Each structure stands twice: as structure tokens, then as C-alpha cells.
Amino acid sequence: MSKKWLLPIFLVLTVILVSACGNNSNNNNGAASPSASSGSSPSASASEPAASPSESDAASGTITYQSETGPVEVPANPQRIVALGYAPNVISMGGTLVGVDEWTNMSPHFTEKLKGVEVVSEDNLEKIIELDPDLIIVDASSKSIDKLKEIAPTVAFTWGKLDYLQQQIEIGKMLNKEAEAQAWADDFTKRAKEIGDQIKAKIGESATVSVFETDSKNFYVFGDAWARGTEILYQAMGLNMPEKVKADALGAGYYTLSPEVLSDYAGDYIVLSRSASGDNSFMETDTWKKIPAVANGHLIEIDTEASTYSDPTTLEYLLNIFKDAFLK
């Protein structure tokens, strides 16, 4: 072939090759892993405007979550979450866990969803590393936060800093599902208030409700934000708390009682959190049976293991129990 034809042919082949590479680059970018960092995304060409920070994050599969300790770049769609805290909130939002704390693992609500998920703790960082998480969630009281940050993006929450609804919304923001979390919070608030109004119409506006728990050794009475349905009964439904409970448990969250003084803290209705596997022989004593709410059949029993969180799954479960028990 004449040499004069070689240059044009070479140029044509070069154009085809460059075009093919460009198409492959676009396809890979569109199917990028959610955990890909912004540094791995291709640079904009000179003929295109520079992407804004939010556009760059979206292209790389990350978002910036404004946590209580500062901004954290997290996956837009995390697939390997290690939740050392707030796991029920994450599961309720459809989050994908590879590691979970032991307490969440004890809740019967999540038994099926946690099959195959490793139980982990901050005391065994090696095990967390082996799970290769793309997001770690932990309580702000943890002493291992800095070490966890070296493994994966880590978000810490301070327990009790936010109310139960805002906590769920923050979890939604972190998981890039804020609208979904807000919709649930709004709907739950509306439904719980409606049921609360029905309950007050039946038992009386001034009727009081106490939430007790026993662990076979001690008794506890709870304020309005210590799980066991307290957020539903007192905050969402607006039911009344006995004065002694207000004085001793509202600020601290809970108050330890001896069996002899249970009646002093008992409302017109009692919600009793207890474990079916625990020692519940106290329920056969005269001290218990003579409490007016018990004697009048105003006792609602809930399972402790199924009631110790304030996530959507647990709250919906308790809302149905309270609705059926109060309005039967």
C-alpha cells in the first residue's frame, strides 16, 4: 500500500478508538459503586462547565451528611453498614447491615432481617475491618470513633440529643432517604394523635398511665422518652403521667423502685414491660394484685425485648398494642 494512504487510515482508526473509550468511560461512571470516592470520578473536559460539589458527589456515589460532629462524606447508597448503635432505625429504613450490636440482635422484630449479619462491638475492631464496611454508625459516647473513622466513614449520634422523630429523620438524611423518613414521621404523628384522642375519650382526659419494667431484681418507672412506648403514650398521644412519676422519672428518664412503693407510682393504667423468660412471680403477690390499676384490669403487658427501642418498626408494633388494649 502507498505510504500516502497510511496517515489518513491511522487518523480514522485513532478517532474510532478514542470514541469507543469515551463511551466506556460514560457507562462505568453511570454504574459507579456507591462507595466510590469523588477522587475516582473522571475530570470534566475543557469544553464542559466544571461540576458543582453536589454534582460531583452524585457522580461519585457519595453525599455529604452534616453530622453533629461535622460534615461526613458517606455513600449515597451504602451496602455494607456496621451499626454499633441505632441499628433498628437503619433497618426500618431498609438499610443493608453487615454488622450489628448485640442488643439489636436480641429484638424479635429483627430476627429475620439480621440472619447472616455479624454481631460486632467496638472492642473487636479487627472483626469490623474484616466486614469491609462502607459506613459505620456509632453512639457519640464511643471511645473508638477515631479508630473507626480509619476503617470507613463514621457517623456518631448522641443518644437522647434528638427526639425520637427527629432521630429517625436524621438517620434518613444519612442514608439519603430523608423524604421517606419525614413522610413516616408525619404520618405516625398523625395516626398516634388520633388514637390518643380516642383513648382519652374512653378513659377520661384526666386518667393517668404509668410505664413499669422489671428485670427480676428491680422495678423501674419511666419518663416520656425511654422507649417501652413512652414516646407514644406521653408525647404522641398526650396521655397523663402520675405526679410522682413526673417528679422522679421525667427528668432522669427512669427511676428505680422497690416493690413496696409501686402503688405510689401507679397510674390509673399500667403498662408493664417484662421478659417472658424472667422471674415474674411478683405478679402473684398481694402487693401487686392490690394495686388499683391491676385490680381493675387496667394492665397492659409488653415484651421487654421487643420494646426497648424507639424506631419505626418497634413504634408501629407498640402503637397497635396500645390501640387494641385501651380501646377494646
Specify the DSSP element, H or E, that contains 28: helix 3-30
Question: pLDDT per residue over 11-51, tens digit each?
Answer: 333 333 333 333 333 332 222 222 222 222 222 323 233 33
Residue 318 falls inside a structural domain: yes
109 within 8 A of 306, measured Cβ to Cβ: yes
> Domain span at residue 319?
192-327
Last residue of a domain, one of 176, 200, 221: 176
Last residue of a domain, one of 144, 176, 208: 176
What contacts 219, CB < 8 A, 6 or more positions away?
Answer: 212, 213, 256, 257, 258, 259, 262
Residue 7 falls inside a structural domain: no
Across 26-40, 101-115, 236-250, 292-306, least confident range:
26-40
Pairwise CA distance, residues 200 & 207, whole Å: 8
The C-alpha cell 497510511 sits at 6
CATH no. for residue 117? Answer: 3.40.50.1980
Angle at which helix 178-203 crosses helix 312-327, to 10 degrees, equals 20
Residue 16 falls inside a structural domain: no
Same domain, 72 and 196: no
Q: Over pLDDT 70: what percentage of the chain?
A: 82
Pairwise CA distance, residues 230 & 302, whole Å: 12
Same domain, 198 and 310: yes
Residue 11: the pLDDT is: 34
319 within 8 A of 192, measured Cβ to Cβ: yes
Same domain, 233 and 269: yes
Same domain, 253 and 152: no
Average pLDDT score, the chain: 85
CA-closest candidate to residue 323, choices 221, 222, 193: 193
Work out the pLDDT band at 217, boundaries 50, 70, 90: confident
| Burial degree of 150 (CB within 10 A; 0-12, 13-18, 19+) | exposed
Same domain, 130 and 229: no
- Our CA angle for 239, 241, 242, nearest 5°, is 140
Q: Is the pLDDT of residue 276 over 90?
A: no
How many domains does the structure of the chain reveal? 2
Mean pLDDT of 157-164: 96
Same domain, 168 and 214: no
Q: Over pLDDT 90: what percentage of the chain?
A: 79
CA dihedral 271, 272, 275, 277 (to 10 degrees): -130
* Phi, psi for residue 183 in degrees, rounded to 5: -60, -40
What contacts 65, CB < 8 A, 6 or more positions away?
Answer: 71, 72, 73, 74, 155, 173, 174
Residue 21: the pLDDT is: 36
Residue 253 falls inside a structural domain: yes
Predicted model pTM = 0.81
Q: For strand 97-100 and strand 154-157, is the pairing parallel, antiparallel, or unpaired?
A: unpaired
Last residue of a domain, one of 128, 151, 176: 176
Residue 35: the pLDDT is: 28
Same domain, 132 and 244: no
Residue 6 falls inside a structural domain: no
Residue 145 falls inside a structural domain: yes
Same domain, 151 and 271: no
Same domain, 154 and 268: no
231 within 8 A of 166, measured Cβ to Cβ: no
The three three-digit cell numbers of residue 32, written as one number? 459507579
Pairwise CA distance, residues 38 & 52, whole Å: 12
What contacts 56, CB < 8 A, 6 or more positions away?
Answer: 38, 41
